[in-house]
Chain A
Amino acid sequence: MMKNRGITFKLIFFILTSCTLIFLLTFGYNYLFSRRIIIKGIEENARNMTQLTVNKIEATLRPIEKVPQSLAFLLEQSLCKKEDLLRVLRSLVENSPEIYGAAIAFEPYAFEKDALYFAPYCYREKDMIKSAYLGGDAYQYFYLDWYQIPKELGHSVWSEPYYDEGGGNIIMSTYSVPFYKYDGEKKVFKGIVTADVSLSWLQDIVSSIKIGDTGYGFLISSNGRVVTHPHQDLIMHETIFSIAEAREDISLRQVGKDMINGKSGFIPFNSLVTGSSCWMAYEPIPSTAWSLGVLFPKDELMAGITRLNWVVLFLGIFGFLFLLVVIVLIAGTIARPLRGLYKATKDIGTGNLDFDLPVIKSGDEVGKLTDSFMYMKESLKRYIKDLKVTTAAKERIESELKIAHDIQMNIVPKIFPPFPERKEIDLYALLEPAKEVGGDLYDFFFISEDRLCFVIGDVSGKGVPAALFMAVAKTMIKAVAHELGNPDEILERVNKEIYQGNDSCMFVTVFCGILDLKTGKLCYANAGHNPPLIIKNAGSVDFLNIASNPAIGIIEEAAFTGQELVLLPGDAIYMYTDGATEAFSKQRELFSEDRLKDDVSACKETSAQRIVENTIEKIKDFAKDVPQSDDITIMVLKYLK
């Protein structure tokens, strides 16, 4: 699919995909890394801040603990009087503004033998300090947490925070210190000294924690009960576990367990006020075994980094679009001319060279390619124009040559048997023209009742001049033959005539013979032509003995030796031009006179026509696909009577 897309698309696709990938990787890494750094910073800060608040709370609680502790110590040392106890308590509450009330509660009958309850108590009411004695059927303090727990545990404890009903609906917690009477080794529990503390100051400390707009702190007791929280409805009503149950949040339950078990931590947490996701740092308050949680709203603390990330993302998108535009422009400058060139190539393919090329001003590869294309177009145009002219000329010449060839072919006799009434001879001749017009010739005619003149020749050179020369020679031979009657004389005369008009120094080899049909006597003369073969009826094949004479048209006064031979019935004379012996095979091998002689010897045919055709077949077999370079002419004259 992709491979068929255009360059512009590919450039846009691959570059933008790569850039997007690089950007996203960079952005993602940057985001995660910066986030981690910031979270780490927040965590450190959160833990410090939480610890600081815990220290602040501890700094208030610890001194309060000292007061009942000292009083318990005092009670263990000496037994005070009833009035002294109240006075001590009163001055203690008076001098400790953070203490809401204080009591000394004795075990049954421990202070006075007849008093089940004895528990003097001083407390603040408005601006006054009042005193009372606790205990009664409706207030069996022995069974109350503030009394029973330190008693059973044997050490001081801070109570669970509780509402002081009627005391102004403030949340209080009581610090209870057990005291004993030492009877030698024996340690007898005598009672509890308490200090009630309003937790409003604690709420002030915790509510002063402000992180961003929505961050807050909260305090839970050792049972997980919510002591301070910006959500007033939760205070004293809910425990962190009931909240976890309501939210069906098992992890919150686990957090709660960690908190009340004195662990500290930093965890993701959803705000109970806004529901937004926060981090929560929690730290135990060692004295009371309570736990302080501080919520750090994620979105607010991460606002800076979030904004930065948005800016980076925006820049990335902007860069992406910018890159898109740039790539489209660059790709356009490449693809547009290429498209023009592509279209131009198609035009060239259809033969149209009159097309417009895109105008490219740049000197880059595309510009150079366009220039080359322009040059190619012009060259092609010029070439095709020249080619048209040349082709026209060539076509004309070829047409003329064709005509010349046709004329040449029509000059030689072509009707066989030429003399059907003469049973004495079997004559057959064939001129196999080469592609171009050649200069081979043959002819035969009676010069008297019984004398047959026959001639075979080959004009030097090829083409129209050779053809014309051949026509002249043939016509001249025929004309002279009737007049003279001897082959040597005929050739002499023809030589003389031709030489005189032969400015172009052409020549023609000729073998001329005259056969007396009655006697079988053959007179012949040869002018530089290939020696014919004589095929004896007895079976032998030999080259005819010929005198060495020049070709016609070379020497003006040349003499041609006449020769004689008597043919027996059945003997045949086999004449040919060098086109036959000089035919080439594929291996550039000549057909040769020897091969010709062998082929003729091997030929079992008897008719002149079949002998000729046989040789032609052999030559074609030999030459195969090699184009014929010269005319091949073969003429066989068989004497029958």
Chain B
Amino acid sequence: MHKTFVKIFLIIAILACFFYTILPTYASENKLKKASFISQWVPQAQFAGYYLAYEKGIYKKYGLDVDIINGGPHVSPCDSLEEKRVDFINIGLNTAIVARANGLSLVDIGQLVQRSALMLVAKKSSGIEKIEDINNKKVGVWTGISQIQALSFIKKYNLDVEVVPQTYSVNLFLRDGVDVVSAMWYNEYHTILNSGYDADELTTFFFADHDLNFPEDGIYALEETVKSKPRFCSDFVRASIEGWIYAFTHPEEALDIVLKYTKEANIPANRMHQKWMLERMQDLMLINNGIEISGILQEDDYYRVADELKNAGMIDTIPSFNAFYKYCGAYYDEK
């Protein structure tokens, strides 16, 4: 019953992205509602949908006056949410579960990325062509929560490796300081490609292909916001999804806007990298032969991630799925 309702909505949402001008505009009826949003990292195509929703007036169409705040290495979206400095954040599912388990009452109101983009990349020149070859090698693993999948992978295949903490760059890998590096398919992997390594010179291991699919980016709000202003949340999610659809259907325009954001934030960026990122986000987000954005968090996906986090000792108890997830992609009446 619930799923059917969602599907019907999604079809409407997709149609709306092409014909949104014929939908009723909330702006003309009500005063715009203030909303703020923070992305989990510096401006890049990973957040193109939000920028497009803003730039193309989609948020306004849904009656929202959104303030987009850039994330970065020194910004914690969860802290911002907890301190109520923002209404909505975009973070990965694992980060969100840890935050919820640690007492932050955030709610997943739209699970945009269904597939994990996290992967391990190795150079064939260092003799790594299959999983066993990773044995006795130095593996770069991100510090913090992002290490879970890599560590689970190592454990799962019983690999004997030297784990080297990895932060923002893949330079250690490029300089042969490590043999295997953690990478996001849409980001670091392309950085490696554009540092002079051809795809056929690299061996890749997607965690999603090894029963370690951690859905990633989702939209979160505080539980109290979801309860008190469901329509507000639903409008934000729906507008954001529409922004994403628009970005995927107008990639060049989307890239222009993304590059405008990177330039304003003084972030080194190039169009080809952002193009790659946008295309990979499309691969990760679109389902049903690439025509829809689901927005739904599957329960088994949730427990897979939560179990791994618990096993890794990142959390003590697994928050209840129903408390954690409340899909706000559909229309909710305020009353």
* Contact A239–B194 (Cβ < 8 Å): yes
Within 8 A of B (CB), among A181-239: 222-225, 236-239
Asked whether A145 is an interface residue with its Cβ less than 8 Å from the other chain, the reply is yes
In the complex, A419 has a CB within 8 A of chain B: no
Within 8 Å CB of B74, what residues of A? 138
Q: Is A152 a contact of B196 with CB atoms below 8 Å?
A: no
Which one of B143, B177, B270 lies within 8 Å of A237 (CB-CB)? B270
Is the pair B195, A239 in contact by a Cβ cutoff of 8 Å? yes
A165 touches B266 (CB 8 A): yes
| Chain A residues whose C-beta falls within 8 Å of the C-beta of B269 in the assembled complex | 237
Any A CB within 8 A of the CB of B174:
yes
- Tell me if A157 and B270 are in contact (CB < 8 A): no
In Å, the complex CA distance between A253 and B138 comes to 28
Cβ contacts B144-179/A at 8 Å (1 or 0 each)? 000000000000000000001111010110111110
Q: Which of B244-301 contact A (CB under 8 A)?
A: 266, 268-273
Cβ distance B195 to chain A, nearest Cβ, rounded Å = 4
Shortest distance between the CB of B43 and any CB in chain A (Å): 13
B193 is an interface residue with CB less than 8 A from chain A: yes
Given contacts A138-B74, A236-B268, contact A149 B196 (CB under 8 A): no
Q: Does A241 belong to the interface (CB within 8 Å)? A: yes
Query: Which chain B residues border A163 with CB–CB below 8 Å?
Result: 266, 268
Task: For B143, give the chain A residue with the smallest CB separation.
Answer: A143
Query: A157: which B residues are within 8 A, CB to CB?
Result: 175
Determine the chain B residues whose CB is within 8 A of the CB of A246 once the complex forms: 270-272
Q: Which of B195-209 contact A (CB under 8 A)?
A: 195-196
- List residues of chain A with CB within 8 A of the CB of B165: 142-143, 148
Interface range for B = 20 to 34
Residues of B within 8 A of A237 (CB): 268-270
**Residue B169 contacts which of A142, A145, A152, A238 (CB distance < 8 angstroms)?**
A145
Residues of B within 8 A of A153 (CB): 175-177
Which chain B residue lies CB-closest to A160?
A: B171
Inter-subunit contact A242/B270 (CB<8 Å): yes
Quick check: is A245 within 8 A (CB to CB) of the other chain? Answer: yes
Identify the closest chain B residue to A162 (Cβ): B268
CA distance A145 to B171 in the complex (A): 7
Residue of B nearest to A138 (CB): B74
Measured in the bound complex, the distance between the Cα atoms of B309 and A452 in whole Å is 174
- A163 CA to B270 CA in the complex, in Å? 15
The answer to whether A224 touches B194, judged by C-beta atoms less than 8 angstroms apart, is yes
Query: Which single residue of chain A is at the shortest CB-CB distance from B201?
Result: A257
A223 adjacent to B171 (CB under 8 Å)? yes
A593 to B169, CA, bound (A): 143
**Contact indicator B195/A223 (Cβ below 8 Å):** yes
Q: Which of B73, B172, B268, B272 contacts A245 (CB 8 A)?
A: B272
How far is A245 from B171 in the complex, measured between Cα atoms in Å? Answer: 21
Contact yes or no, A152 B178, CB < 8 A: yes
Most B C-beta atoms less than 10 A away, residue of A148, A165, A257: A148
Task: Tell me which of A144, A148, A238, A257 contacts B196 (CB under 8 A).
Answer: A257
Assess the A241–B171 pair: CB atoms within 8 A: no
Chain A residues whose CB sits within 8 angstroms of the CB of B196 once the complex forms: 223-224, 239, 241, 253, 256-257, 260-261
Chain A residues near B138 (CB-CB < 8 A): 152
Pair B171/A143 contact, Cβ less than 8 Å? no
Min CB distance, A258 to chain B, in Å? 9
- Complex Cα gap A630–B268 (Å): 132
State A142–B176 Cα separation when bound (angstroms).
17
Contact of B172 among A149, A225, A241 (CB under 8 A): A149
Shortest CB-to-CB span from A145 to chain B, Å, is 5
A147 to B172, CA, bound (A): 10
The one of B164, B166, B174 that contacts A223, using a Cβ cutoff of 8 Å: B174
Query: Of residues 143 to 177 in A, which have CB atoms within 8 Å of B's CB atoms?
Result: 143-145, 148-149, 152-153, 157, 159-160, 163, 165, 169
Neighbouring B residues of A257 by C-beta, 8 Å: 196
Q: What is the CA–CA distance of A423 and B178 in the complex, to the nearest angstrom?
A: 160
- Whole-angstrom distance between the Cβ of A290 and the nearest chain B Cβ: 13
Q: Knowing A143-B165, A143-B166, A148-B177, say if A242 contacts B273 (CB, 8 Å).
A: yes
For window 121-151 of B, CB contacts with A under 8 Å fall at 138, 143
Do A245 and B177 form a contact, CB below 8 Å, given A149-B171, A149-B172, A239-B270? no
What's the minimum C-beta distance from B10 to chain A, rounded to whole angstroms? 34
Shortest A571–chain B CB gap in Å is: 138
Which of B176, B196, B270 has the most CB atoms of chain A within a 10 A radius of its CB?
B196
What is the CA–CA distance of A153 and B179 in the complex, to the nearest angstrom? 12
- B171: chain A residues at CB < 8 Å are 145, 149, 159-160, 223
CB distance from A599 to the nearest CB of B (A): 120
The answer for the CA separation of A84 and B304 in the assembled complex, in Å, is: 54
Task: Name the residue on B nearest A157 (C-beta).
Answer: B175
**CB-CB nearest in chain B for A259:** B196
Contacts of B174 in A (CB 8 A): 222-223
Q: CA–CA, A241 to B194, complex, Å?
A: 5
Cα–Cα, bound, A397→B203 (Å): 126
Best-surrounded residue of B74, B174, B270 (most CB of chain A within 10 A): B270
B195 touches A224 (CB 8 A): yes
Selected from B166, B169, B194, B266, the residue in CB contact (under 8 A) with A242 is B194
Give A3 to B71 CA distance when docked, in angstroms.
Answer: 88
Chain B contacts with A in 25-55, Cβ cutoff 8 A: none
Q: Once the chains are docked, how many angstroms separate the CA of A138 from the CA of B79?
A: 15
Docked complex Cα distance between A224 and B197 (Å): 11
Cβ distance B165 to chain A, nearest Cβ, rounded Å: 5
In the complex, the chain A residue whose C-beta lies closest to that of B175 is A149
- When distances are taken between beta carbons in the complex, the residues of chain B under 8 Å from A145 are 169, 171-172
A510 CA to B274 CA in the complex, in Å? Answer: 144
Q: Which residues of A contact B268 (CB under 8 A)?
A: 163, 236-237
CA distance A157 to B143 in the complex (A): 23
Verify A152–B193 contact, CB threshold 8 A. Answer: no
A452 to chain B, nearest CB (A): 142
A129 to B177, CA, bound (A): 33
CB distance B164 to A152 under 8 Å?
yes
1/0 per position for B305-332, CB-CB distance to A under 8 A?
A: 0000000000000000000000000000
Q: How distant is the Cα of A239 from the Cα of B74 in the complex, in angstroms?
A: 26
Nearest chain A CB to B268 CB, angstrom units = 5
B206, chain A: closest CB distance, angstroms: 22
Contact B194 A148 (CB under 8 A): no
Of B167, B169, B178, the most chain A CB neighbours within 10 A belong to B169
Measured CA separation A188–B138 after assembly (Å): 19
Nearest CB in chain B to that of A256: its residue: B196
Cα–Cα distance between A260 and B171 once the two chains are bound (Å): 14
With the chains together, A144 CA to B268 CA distance in Å?
18
Interface string of A74-85 (1 = CB under 8 A from B): 000000000000
Task: Decide: B193 and A241 in contact? CB cutoff 8 A.
Answer: yes
B271 x A241 contact (CB < 8 A) = no
Q: Which residue of B lies closest to A260 (CB)?
A: B196
A638 to B116 Cα, complex, angstroms: 152
Query: In the assembled complex, which residues on chain B have CB atoms less than 8 Å from the CB atom of A169?
Result: 266
- State in angstroms the CA–CA spacing of A242 and B73 once bound together: 25
A148-B177, A245-B272 are known; give 7 further A-B pairs, CB within 8 A: A142-B165, A143-B167, A148-B164, A149-B171, A153-B176, A239-B194, A242-B194
23 contacts between A and B (CB under 8 A): A138-B74, A140-B167, A143-B165, A143-B166, A145-B169, A148-B165, A148-B177, A152-B138, A152-B164, A152-B177, A153-B177, A157-B175, A159-B171, A222-B174, A223-B195, A224-B195, A238-B270, A241-B194, A242-B272, A242-B273, A245-B194, A246-B271, A256-B196
Residues of A at under 8 Å CB distance from B?
Answer: 138, 140, 142-145, 148-149, 152-153, 157, 159-160, 163, 165, 169, 222-225, 236-239, 241-242, 245-246, 253, 256-257, 260-261
- Closest 3 CB pairs between A and B? A152-B177, A241-B194, A223-B195
